[in-house]
Structure 1
Amino acid sequence: MKNDLGELSAFAMVAEERSFTRAAARLGISQSALSHSIRGLEKRLGLQLLARTTRSVSPTAAGTTLLQELAPALERIERAVAETRKQREAPSGRIRLIIPRTASKVVILPKLAEFTRNYPEIVLEVTSSNDPVDLVAGEYDAGVQLGEFIQRDMIAVRVTREMRLAVVGSPQYFAAKSIPRHPQDLKDHACIGFRFSNGLYRWEFEKGSRALTVSPQGPVSFDDPELVIQAVLEGVGIGTAMENGLLGLIAEGKLVQVLKDWCPSFPGYFLYYPSRRNQPAALAALIETLRLDQ
């Protein structure tokens, strides 16, 4: 009964006003249309809900019983609609965001305190995942991912500068192994893999017009980039991670960066979302906060 909600709301309005004329004016419809709607509701229910005379309108016993249950439900619906409309007008409500853990550290955490101070009525619900996901199917409002993994039908906003991967090993590892000078030398090394749900990440290298990929072969792989680097620090083998997160360890001599001339820059992370139409104010606030300052 797809028309029931509108007709039940119309019935409640007539019962409240005790007048078809006043109820029609509040609803913004003609009196004849309102009468037709009420008659249709009564016909489907098989009960008279309103007693009508030339001078007055009042609910019948059946109408009064219905109204007692109906009025609170309609009030809750009205509040829910008003709250939803508020999210379009003022930054409030919940935002579901999916983002790789590494990106959380460089994109979200540095601006989180500022965001929560400026928008105290917004709640961020952050899920960590390295895998590219379908935002709509996963019921996420937005995501953060490397540009190469974002579908073409998404709106993408840059949130980091260009980045690049670093290939690193520990000093104790290289004390027993030679430094690789070419990606092909990695076949002689223990390479610690980083794993997506659908398989290992293949290490991509480029130098001038030459490009090649290497499938890491080694004793262990992780789905967490921090564990990859921890294993590297323990001397297990060579691993890769975002260079900007390793600069301190490299400067301190705890990691040795290799094949640097084979690791070009790439566009970095983007915030992405399905559409610009009817964008909630909360999402617009998050976009403006995370957008990379030009």
Structure 2
Amino acid sequence: MQHENYNDLLSFLVVAKECSFTRAAAQLGVSQSALSHSMRGLEERLNIRLLTRTTRSVSLTEAGEQLLKNIGPHFTEIQSQLLALSELRDKPAGTIRISSAEHAVNTVIVPKLTPFLKEYPDIKVELTTDYGMIDIVKQQYDAGVRTGELLAKDMIGVKISPDLRMAVVATPDYFKEHTIPKVPHDLINHTCINLRLPTYNSIYAWEFEKDGYEQKINVTGQLTFNLTSQRLDAALLGLGVAYLPEDLVRPYIAMGRLVSVLDDWCNYFSGYYLYYPNRRQTSQAFKLLVEALRHKVS
């Protein structure tokens, strides 16, 4: 393939990631028709169909999946090597993309980034809120954030928060009208506010442990959300029982707006970790970010 066609391969990677010509064109800064023309030209030169197009979506053919699998990591490595050149500059620079759950962004990452970004004005950080178990390499993220027990073994993990604990909460008025649960199984008789996980398109089962005995309870209710803030708002409105990070609800418990139950079943678990692939080169900007986010025991 001629050198001038490498841009088409880069465009193909973006289309494959976004599964949409509209979103890919916006990200690349080109028109949708120009991008579609580039993809048709790439397919003609390779003499094989890479994309299946419908009026609403774009998906990869088997050949497209194979091309993505084979070239994606190489382009990611090239981008990593180019980013590493920023180490030669007087000031660290570059854009770092991180995928993370909403709670970690709000309570850990953004507070730690506040002084970091002031100190390094040439470093940009792009944060995407996502509860899915995405492939950060395939999706071209520099790093992701998960709790420790969910880390893949082929990733480097850096602890960025203390251990965490969940809490089962509802308003005082809610518990005036409903019996307070004594054991997790009692929650099946309550109106609970659920969380849907996109990876498996399933409802998250609430997890409990006491004296070494673990329980996962599939609760039901009228409301299901995909963000932590939405579940908190619903709980504060008295719309049901919610299962939320304790640090998030602690101020509302102190104010008397929420009541915590089943505390003896809610144990501490591994906190958040920043994880990333074991590359041969990482940029100076990324190294500085890792150290800024690293949890330091006082």
Report the TM-score when normalising by structure 2: 0.69
C-alpha separation in 2, matches of 1:159 and 1:196: 23
Which of 234, 238, 255 aligns to 1:235? It is: 238
Cα pair 1:166 1:241 within 8 Å, conserved = yes
1:255 matches 2:258: yes
- The residue aligned with 1:87 is 86
Structure 2: any 5+ residue segments left out of the alignment?
5-78
Q: Percent identity?
A: 38
C-alpha separation in 1, matches of 2:246 and 2:136: 28
Structure 1: any 5+ residue segments left out of the alignment?
5-79
C-alpha separation in 2, matches of 1:81 and 1:133: 19
C-alpha separation in 1, matches of 2:126 and 2:205: 31
Listed one character per residue, the Cα deviations across residues 179-233 of structure 1 (whole Å, up to 9, x for unaligned) are 1000111111111101111211100110002111100111111001111111111
Residue aligned with 1:151, SS: coil
1:274 matches 2:277: yes
C-alpha separation in 1, matches of 2:132 and 2:81: 36
- The residue aligned with 1:292 is 295
CA drift of 1:113 comes to 2.0
- The residue aligned with 2:267 is 264
Cα pair 2:80 2:282 within 8 Å, conserved = no
Going from structure 1 to structure 2, the CA distance change for 1:85 and 1:256 (only over 3 Å counts) comes to closer
- The 5 A counterparts of 1:61-100 are 84=83, 86-90=85-89, 91-100=92-101
C-alpha separation in 2, matches of 1:83 and 1:161: 34
C-alpha separation in 1, matches of 2:96 and 2:203: 31
Bigger CA radius of gyration? 1
Cα pair 1:156 1:272 within 8 Å, conserved = yes
Cα pair 1:155 1:276 within 8 Å, conserved = no
CA drift of 1:130 comes to 1.5
C-alpha separation in 1, matches of 2:86 and 2:189: 57
In the alignment, residue 140 of structure 1 is paired with which amino acid? Y
In the alignment, residue 266 of structure 1 is paired with which amino acid? F
In the alignment, residue 93 of structure 2 is paired with which amino acid? S
Cα pair 1:142 1:271 within 8 Å, conserved = yes
C-alpha separation in 2, matches of 1:121 and 1:285: 12
In the alignment, residue 146 of structure 1 is paired with which amino acid? T
In the alignment, residue 213 of structure 2 is paired with which amino acid? R
C-alpha separation in 1, matches of 2:188 and 2:152: 33
What is the aligned length? 219
- The 5 A counterparts of 1:26-105 are 84=83, 86-90=85-89, 91-105=92-106
- The residue aligned with 1:69 is none
Going from structure 1 to structure 2, the CA distance change for 1:81 and 1:194 (only over 3 Å counts) comes to closer
C-alpha separation in 2, matches of 1:120 and 1:108: 17
- The residue aligned with 2:12 is none
- The residue aligned with 2:163 is 162
Going from structure 1 to structure 2, the CA distance change for 1:181 and 1:110 (only over 3 Å counts) comes to same
Cα pair 1:98 1:127 within 8 Å, conserved = yes
Residue aligned with 1:236, SS: coil
C-alpha separation in 2, matches of 1:268 and 1:175: 34
- The residue aligned with 2:209 is 206
In the alignment, residue 188 of structure 1 is paired with which amino acid? N
- The residue aligned with 2:220 is 217
